[in-house]
Each structure stands twice: as C-alpha cells, then as structure tokens.
Amino acid sequence: MNDQENLGATLNCISDIFEDYVYENDRKVRWFIGYGALRFYIAEHHYSGNLDQDIDVCVLDPISRDQMESQFHAFGYHCSKMVVSDVDENHPFQMVFEPDVKRGLTIDVWFQIKANGMYWHTYDRSNGKEAVLKEYAFKGVHSSMFDAGTLLTPWAEIARDIRIPKLFGECLDTWYPPKLDPAGNAVYNSAWFIKDIKYGQSKCDKTVTLKTCRKMEELLK
C-alpha cells in the first residue's frame, strides 16, 4: 500500500470499530479524531503525504480493556502498549494499536475521564512500556468542548466520513495555543498549521500529577 491507501485503510477501520459500537443500553460510544490527527486534518483538509504520525482517537465512554482488544482484533489490530490505572487495570487510560500486517497506521486511543467539569486524559511521559505508571500526569480541558457533540465529515475522498469535535476550533486553540517568545510576543498566532518538533505535544487547560489513582476524582479539581 502507498501512504494514501494506508491512511484510508486506517480511517475506515476506525469508523468500522467505533461508529456502530454499542456501549450500554443501546447507546453508541462517543468518539472523535483528536490531537495531532485533527490538527493535520484541519490544516491540510486533504492528504498531502506528510502524515508521519499515528491517528489519535478520543473516546468519552469507559470501555473495558478486554472489549477494546476484542474489537480491534476483529479488524486485524493488536495492542502494543497501554496505560492503565494502578487500582483498575481493566479500564485503560490509553491504548495503542498496531496493524497485524502493514495495511494501516498506528491507532492511539485516548479514554477521556469526566470529573469536576473537565475531561481528563493521561499518558506515559517516559515513553516506556509499563502499563501501570509510577506517576500519572493528567491533562484536562473544559467539558463543554467535548459535550457539544461531533460532526461527521469526509477526509478528502480516501475514506468514509469521520467524526471530529463540533467545537474543533476551540479544541485546537486549547491543544495548540499561540507560541510565545521569551518576551511574551506571539511567534505565530496559531499552532494549527505549524509543525514544530519542539512544540508538537498538545497543551491543555490544566495538568495534575498523581502518584496513585485511588483518589482520582477528588484530586482532579
């Protein structure tokens, strides 16, 4: 497959996995393309051959580890890395899925936790392989950004419609805000269209670092 076919195969796989997935009581799971993949989509709005990253998917419902692995396995993907709570390993915070054969890109699933008016996610800052972390860095955004819902939109003509947050501009402004020089002047007004290796990691409204997830909801205020 060429790069365009790999991207199209990945996007179609994501749609197949999540679009008709029933979470509970016949309610479909809430999901959308986020972070760097959303920035690339909005900035380019077509595939230019420069997407050298995974596809980020944000999930707003607490799907179990076993359910996610089963879903992805059915579409030829396996879990290569995950981050889980130190008190509940069956409900992950992050899962990274790789295709069993080279027919698509890596899919990085971020489970968002709603607490105290915000959605939180965490990640392995050391980039290691341990599922249970010694330190959890939770990053949060105001819940109104995600609760506003999603839009179904085509990614050029290479794949079926994908979901993006309805307030995608607000999301991107929060994740990739203006970059400032040491004097506080804007180097550029938006990071949406700039690929800067030193500025690639998304920001959020608030960050909280925890040693354990035992009192997570109490601490994520």
117: left (phi over 0), alpha (psi -120 to 50) or beta: left
- The 10s digit of each residue's pLDDT in 38-76 is 887 877 654 444 555 689 999 999 888 998 999 999 989
Q: Enter the pTM of the model.
A: 0.87
Q: How far is CA 55 from the centre of its chain?
A: 8
Q: What is the pLDDT of residues 93-148, one digit of tens each?
A: 999 999 987 777 899 999 999 988 999 998 777 666 778 888 888 888 999 999 99
Instruction: Please check the confidence at residue 217 and state whether its pLDDT lies above 60.
Output: yes
Q: For the chain, what is the domain count?
A: 1
For residue 201, the model assigns a pLDDT of: 59
Residues spanned by the domain of 76? 3-219
